[in-house]
Amino acid sequence: MDADETGLRARLVAAGVDLVLREGQSAVSLREIARTAGVSHGAPRRYFPTHVDLLSAIAREGFADLTARVERTLRDADPDPRTQLTALARTYLDFAAAHRGMFELMFRHDLLDSGRLRLRETSLPLFAVLADLVAQACRPTDAPAAVLAGVLWANLHGIAQLWAWGSLPLATGATDDDALLRAALDAHLGPARA
Amino acid sequence: MDADETGLRARLVAAGVDLVLREGQSAVSLREIARTAGVSHGAPRRYFPTHVDLLSAIAREGFADLTARVERTLRDADPDPRTQLTALARTYLDFAAAHRGMFELMFRHDLLDSGRLRLRETSLPLFAVLADLVAQACRPTDAPAAVLAGVLWANLHGIAQLWAWGSLPLATGATDDDALLRAALDAHLGPARA
DNA sequence: GCACGGAGGTAGACAGCGTCTACCTCGACT
DNA sequence: AGTCGAGGTAGACGCTGTCTACCTCCGTGC
């Protein structure tokens, strides 16, 4: 993606992605990544001045992966906006559940350099897709579509996070997040099949 | 609260709460807490076998604080369910913004022992209040009130988190979270003043 | 009155961490 | 052929959490 596919830079990022997917966020130490990539603990410094820079590059891969999954899902789904939004939401929650470590890392702003690596901006294309679909699908309101989309995103994100934490299953008694997802979409877009 | 108010146990928790409020979650190392409390780095071990145990006790204080703030807010507010929910939501978001470090810690399940200290259960009374109000305030739907309350909580939580991360301001263009809060309440409870 | 034992805190060790820096090793270019 | 820099190594430093040996009192039993 950033040229230099076979170089150490790419190998380090790949090793980090592997690690965070397999072992979770806490396992992704700089030295462990270096070991996984088969180099000394000082080698990453040549490409990533600090641990934060390397983690940010790993998180970028996560955002790219999520974005690609969403785009694939939307391409395969019925073009009806409501259906597309449901598919997007399902993909978001599934990603969070299946790649929990990566999902955590992606939103650990204390571990990432969101400024210099334009990390927040990395999630914007995904948000633009969401905002566009919301503008098409939502029932008329007085709030700007961007705000509605932001609130919907926040809802998906909150469900993913509180579900992973165990609070939401405990509080709602639900055994999977599907009821929550449907309730959220109904709330933000109006009852299903309107 | 746990008896032993003046003992080292309470002093350690208080020092940790102070630290996390002033310096953020990353500053709350076991040794730094011990230094703040004026004891050696090994002393905490007598009361908290691991760092996780101490952090969990600190997070419990955070949940207790948030719960107390919510109860105070609800007591002072108009008893109308919608108004109460608005006040609750406002308090939740304000807490997250004002005590960012504590809020982060409270939901960092990788740092906390949610099992043994019944930490998740600590947030349940707050959720019960929310669920009760939702049951009174929401427009009739087919989803159980607990699910609606869970989704609303998730929405508040997601707004708090994504707002703190900077993504939501960036994506929505909003300069404060009030528009998001109102949009969320409208979505989940029906348009205001229905 | 006094030895004793345990509760409660100290202090040093250890491995692992991120970062810094001195060094080494090649391959390319003049 | 000689030099120079890109790219990687390796050791040090101070920090972390955890473990353990020790010390120091205070309360109790006799």
Given CB atoms, is A165 within the 8 Å cutoff of chain B? yes
**A28-43, pLDDT tens digit by residue?**
999 999 999 999 999 9
CB contact under 8 A, A173 and B109: no
Cα separation of B135 and B137, whole Å? 6
pLDDT grade for A4, boundaries at 50, 70 and 90: very low
Average the pLDDT over each of A79-83, A93-97, A113-117, B19-23 and give the range with the smallest value. Answer: A113-117
Helix axis angle, A178-189 relative to A124-137, nearest 10°? 60
> Is the separation of the CB atoms in A85 and A137 below 8 Å?
yes
What are the CA-CA distances from residue B3 to residues B10, B12, B43 (Å)? Answer: 9, 14, 19
Choose among A93, A85, A70, A92: nearest CA to A145: A85
pLDDT band at A3 (very low <50, low <70, confident <90, very high): very low
Cβ-contact B126, B66 below 8 angstroms: yes
Q: State the Cα–Cα distance between residues A89 and A92, nearest whole angstrom.
A: 5
pLDDT digits (tens, 9 = 90+) for A169-185: 989 999 999 999 999 99
Closest nucleotide (C1' vs CA) to A7 is D7
* Cross-chain residue pair A180–B154, CB shorter than 8 Å: yes
Q: According to the model, what pLDDT value does residue A2 have?
A: 43
Q: Across the interface, which of A120, A124, A172 has its CB nearest the CB of B146?
A: A172
CB contacts < 8 Å between A and B, how many? 160
CB contact at 8 A, A185 and A153: no
Give the pLDDT score at A1: 43
pLDDT for res B4: 47
B42 Cβ nearer than 7 Å to chain C strand: yes
pLDDT confidence of residue B70? 97
Judged by CB atoms within 8 Å, which residues 22-61 of A form the interface with B? 24-26
- pTM, 2 dp: 0.92
CA distance A135 to B61: 42
d(CA A56, CA B135): 42
Whole-angstrom distance, CA of residue A78 vs CA of residue A81 = 8
**Cα separation, B111 vs A114, whole angstroms:** 22
Chain B interface disruption, residue of A25, A157, A189, most B CBs within 10 A: A157
pLDDT, residue B166, reads 87
- pLDDT reported for residue B193: 66
List pLDDT tens digits, range A102-141: 999 999 988 887 666 577 778 889 999 999 999 988 776 6
Render each residue's pLDDT in chain B as its tens digit; 194 residues: 444 456 899 999 999 999 999 999 999 999 999 999 999 999 999 999 999 999 999 999 999 999 999 999 999 999 999 999 999 999 999 999 999 999 999 999 888 876 665 777 788 899 999 999 999 887 766 678 899 999 999 999 999 999 998 889 989 999 999 999 999 999 999 887 65
Instruction: Find, in chain B, the residue whose alpha carbon is nearest to that of A181.
Output: B151
Q: Which residues contact residue A194 at a Cβ distance below 8 angstroms, ignoring those fewer than 6 apart?
A: A82, A139
Calculate the average pLDDT of chain A: 91
Residue A99 has pLDDT above 50, yes or no: yes
Q: Chain A partners of B143 at a C-beta cutoff of 8 Å?
A: 179, 182-183, 186
CB contact under 8 Å between A187 and B188, yes or no, is yes
- Phi, psi for A123 (deg, rounded to 5): -90, -5
Alpha helices in chain B (DSSP H): 8-23, 30-37, 51-76, 81-98, 100-106, 119-122, 124-137, 145-165, 167-172, 178-189
